Structure 1
């Protein structure tokens, strides 16, 4: 007695779900935004103290915040980026978490 197996093609929703599970997850980012309150020297200090950036890297990121309006200061797992964002708030900086663009 043979067993008959019916093959079907997945519907569109199943195919999209499968691609999302197979595709590597995009990392998350901590973004620091420009504000009218904090001095550039203070922002550089925060980046050096909290993230451990070298002076040149901290200044480059601070200038991106100042000139471009924001800078991505960290990238990784969502939970870690949320911790960084909270820390930036504790320092008085305006920061948000976002998923990295594709």
Structure 2
């Protein structure tokens, strides 16, 4: 009689890489209202949250506006750059 073996995949096997942060940097060109508008348009954030992120960019010089898997982070960064926002990616620690 043949034996059957069942393999169980643990949660740690799924993904061990740190998420990627999409960072928007302050610049002297874009108006605060425009940055808020772009964050709402690209991420679907509500106006209050988008304004909070925009103020972080304005006051601190940068803000992490999204965090997650690399492929999606690259897509979001490309969209933000298309709208002329200075954007970088950084792997979370």
Tell me the matched-pair count: 80
Aligned counterpart in structure 2 of residue 49 of structure 1, from 18, 41, 45: 41
Q: Structure 1: which 5+ runs fail to align? A: 1-20
Equivalent runs, 1:5-84 vs 2, <5 Å: 24-84=16-76
Moved over 3 A (4+): none
2:17 and 2:24 mapped to 1: Cα distance?
A: 22
1:80 and 1:65 mapped to 2: Cα distance?
A: 21
Q: Structure 2: which 5+ runs fail to align? A: 1-12
Structure number with greater Rg is 1
Q: TM-score, normalised by structure 2?
A: 0.82
SS in 2 for 1:32: strand
Q: Aligned-pair RMSD on alpha carbons?
A: 1.4
Q: TM-score, normalised by structure 1?
A: 0.75
